[in-house]
Structure 1
């Protein structure tokens, strides 16, 4: 899905999944666009990325699921966030209603704020080498999928599109944004994780880890939650019934795509410069089904 041209809005950025627009129309209700210059239109496409590549094949409805799930979570969390509207009445163009949010412009921190309650992924790789994650020591004997004694804050440095985020220490965050901001980001991230983990667990889903992003609202100087939140693209969701430490856990995210790409059926060699192949229909269907299932289990709503 290429970024659509939207009346009253000017595209300023295109990422792995989202396209950003700023208002190109005069402020005021008569213009049909969101008033003021302090907002952005954030549109979630159906693009999917894996192994730092944006794939040629899209997942139908993925952008709508990410947007609607983020909006649901923003309503559950007791923190300041950047969303100011999500409907046509708020100024969202009809062409992207359902997959777009009008959001405050924030001065974003150059840090991916990650909370982990379980050991897996890049954290597991580091743990196997040094029994640490982001230089935080962990007890011996943990397995892939082990629950940690308490959630930990494991930030990473933001990477350019096509590059891989790099895990960093809390000290590196403090150097980048200042000690007071670093403490606030850690506290907010862990609070969001703890609340979301409890909500997800009540619905039979384990929130293994999640990534959130924050910025400063220039209108009041407050640290504010931005970007998407607690979606299958930014979090690892596992089925609580099937959870069993010691191996990779079945997940409600794009792991199905990663597994197919890294398997023999794809014929793709990640070590070359060749782009990933087109996804077969069955992979597309099964991936979409996992996103829909995550949405419906968490929200208790049918996805239409």
Structure 2
């Protein structure tokens, strides 16, 4: 087995990424930055040959990344994970090329990043947001209120809402429904609340015909001022404008009403599998992320209400 200086293997690996794998200049730069730090770490251990690197060396490097004990800035779990992926790629390349007899990084896993809790606003803030949507007079105000009422009533994504056709709505049924087409072209049927039905009916009767007369609506429920189907970007602007008028701009994202829909249902006692169906999640694991929010709410209520919770 020939000698394998880490810096030489690094250069060969980067060339492999660029030529054989067609990696972008941005990717090459990121790998170069991450692996230069790694080879510097190996130098402090006296590992002049990549053949001498052990699995323990690689595992300890992960600790270095998280603590910054090598003098560089400590990294968050996501950034450390990216760096570990680069290290694993380097060692795998060296092993496959026959430069080293073993791959000491094969069993080293990137750190778990954890899932970020979804952000939701309170019921009162949702009500303020919906009221603010009606601030614009005329057909646009009716459309905006109907759009946001539907988003909160169904938990639909903005992209799903703007894709709705008039035929997807059944407002006259005993239980008004909307048929939503989500990711993977999966279709789900979601009930509509009374407030959403009222807002949609007002929009469809008093506003949509005026908008449709201005252009080609293609049967879409929500239309722009020129009569074409409302775009996802324009729908997001409707939400943002209403949030600014309600004083909630800092707390609102394109998914805010969807997150709030799920959080409020679970807080009200809805079964997580029912919420899964309403949201169109393929796995209940995704929906269970919202249960962490309601558990935190329970903790806060307990801490403030139970006479022996504190002290």
TM range (shorter): under 0.3
Relative to the length of structure 2, the TM-score reads 0.23
Bigger RCO (CA 8 Å, 6+ sep): 1
In our comparison, the structure showing a higher alpha carbon Rg is 2
Relative to the length of structure 1, the TM-score reads 0.23
Structure with the largest fraction of strand: 1
